């Protein structure tokens, strides 16, 4: 059970050919009235990206690039877990576990691996380097899906602490955004004696309705703006909590249905850009979409929604004051006040660039911020 086995991605050619045939044979839905993204992904834009996916996107090139990173599989709590594990050439590297988000995969971090593990090769101070561990969350990509309901972010965090011990690490940092922002602090709760610090992309200090009565007029205005932002777009939490099996039937059978869903969500996650691919390279986006297609994980990856993010329903990542916390996108004074109530905040920068998936959009800035936070904890 404790064996760590080498892993290599090798999608059969027949599956690649089948994907291209399905894309070519799409039965396109007619365009609905409305401008731009008012009714969802514009049909002409979707057709253009689908055509690119079928005729120009080179999966084999992306597969080769992914296989350049050492990958492994190991069984933890009855599930095979896929993990990218890249050791630094620097002798005093800090072990660092990165947890991806939804609807993302380990591909989220591929452009930050180099600056984190081999800073010397990227013109950075080699005194701050990391051994990087990037596991695929159960049900995502090449990690086995939960066999029963009841999987939680705390369970995954416990699995990750087992993984780090199995890889030989006693003291390490943890990092994540989106779904990863739930799992990273849970690792500190599970093993505070092993976790040196928690770095989050965001999702901390978020107010709730219970905080409203004590808010100032300025804070209440911010709360009202946040409500408009949080209720915009497609509520994937409600959708996937209610009927993930129904929606997965379409996403698992039609690559265009999957592509439309992914483009919709990444568009909503990049509010400061006109198009998601203006800030995230199209091939990077399609590599992530293709992984969901080839591994058939659009349904299995939805467990955070139907099992609930903590306590059976949606809630923001829980606080932990056991180890220091740093945040890439600190947020407003209101959020800092709320974050300080239950966390040891030691890093809260302002004006870091990027939208939601900053490791994909701003890999250099993301790696720099991680380096800055953990440099204070060595």
Q: Would you please indicate which residues are annotated as catalytic (active-site) residues?
A: 178, 306, 356
> 304 and 153 in contact (C-beta within 8 Å)?
yes
Long-range contacts of 159-162 (CB under 8 A, 24+ apart): 159/76, 159/77, 159/79, 159/81, 160/97, 160/99, 160/135, 160/187, 161/187, 161/190, 161/191, 161/194, 162/76, 162/77
- Helix (H, G, I), strand (E, B), or coil: what is residue 351? coil
> 83 and 131 in contact (C-beta within 8 Å)?
no
HSE, CB side, 13 Å, CA atoms: give it for residue 49: 27
Bridge partners (DSSP) of residue 362 are: none
Tell me whether residue 55 is exposed, middle or buried, using C-beta atoms within 10 angstroms of its C-beta: 0 to 12, 13 to 18, 19 or more.
exposed
Chain centroid offset of residue 18 CA: 28
> Parallel, antiparallel, or unpaired for β 94-99 and 172-176?
parallel
Residues, the chain, total? 378
> 175 and 199 in contact (C-beta within 8 Å)?
yes
Rounded Cα distance, 53 and 282, in Å: 10
Which residues make Cβ contacts (< 8 Å) with residue 275, sequence separation at least 6?
267
> 23 and 54 in contact (C-beta within 8 Å)?
yes
> 179 and 89 in contact (C-beta within 8 Å)?
no
Sheet with 324-327: strands ordered across: 4-7, 71-76, 79-86, 130-135, 94-99, 172-176, 195-200, 324-327, 344-347
Rounded Cα distance, 189 and 157, in Å: 9
């Amino acid at each position: 059970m404790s064996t760590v086995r080498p892993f290599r991605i090798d999608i059969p050619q027949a599956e690649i050919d089948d994907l291209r045939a399905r894309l070519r044979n799409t039965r396109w839905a007619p365009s609905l009235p409305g401008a731009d993204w008012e009714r969802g992904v514009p049909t002409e834009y979707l057709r253009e990206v689908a055509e690119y996916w079928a005729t120009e996107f080179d999966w084999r090139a992306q597969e080769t690039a992914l296989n350049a990173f050492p990958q492994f599989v190991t069984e933890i709590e009855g599930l095979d877990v896929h993990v990218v594990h890249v050791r630094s050439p620097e002798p005093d590297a800090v072990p660092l576990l990165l947890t991806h988000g939804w609807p993302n995969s380990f591909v989220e971090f591929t452009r930050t691996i180099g600056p984190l593990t081999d800073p010397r090769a990227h013109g950075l101070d080699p005194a701050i380097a990391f051994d990087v561990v990037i596991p695929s969350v159960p049900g995502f990509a090449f990690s086995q899906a939960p066999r029963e309901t009841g999987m939680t972010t705390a369970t995954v965090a416990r699995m990750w602490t087992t993984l780090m011990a199995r890889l030989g690490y006693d003291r390490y940092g943890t990092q994540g955004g989106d779904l990863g922002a739930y799992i990273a602090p849970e690792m500190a709760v599970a093993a505070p004696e092993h976790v040196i610090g928690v770095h989050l992309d965001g999702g901390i200090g978020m107010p709730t309705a219970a905080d409203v009565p004590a808010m100032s007029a300025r804070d209440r205005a911010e709360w009202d703006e946040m409500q408009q932002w949080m209720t915009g777009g497609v509520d994937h939490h409600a959708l996937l909590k209610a009927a993930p099996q129904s929606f997965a039937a379409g996403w698992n059978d039609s690559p265009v249905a999957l592509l439309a869903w992914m483009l919709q969500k990444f568009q909503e996650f990049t509010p400061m850009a006109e198009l998601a691919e203006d800030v995230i390279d199209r091939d990077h986006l399609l590599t992530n979409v293709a992984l969901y297609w080839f591994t058939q994980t659009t349904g299995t990856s939805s467990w955070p929604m139907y099992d609930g993010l903590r306590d059976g329903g949606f809630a923001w990542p829980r606080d932990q004051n056991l180890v220091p916390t740093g945040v890439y996108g600190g947020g407003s004074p209101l959020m800092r006040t709320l974050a300080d109530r239950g966390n040891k905040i030691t890093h809260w920068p302002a004006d870091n660039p990027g939208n939601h998936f900053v490791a994909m959009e701003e890999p250099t800035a993301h790696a720099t911020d991680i380096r800055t936070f953990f440099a204070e904890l060595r």
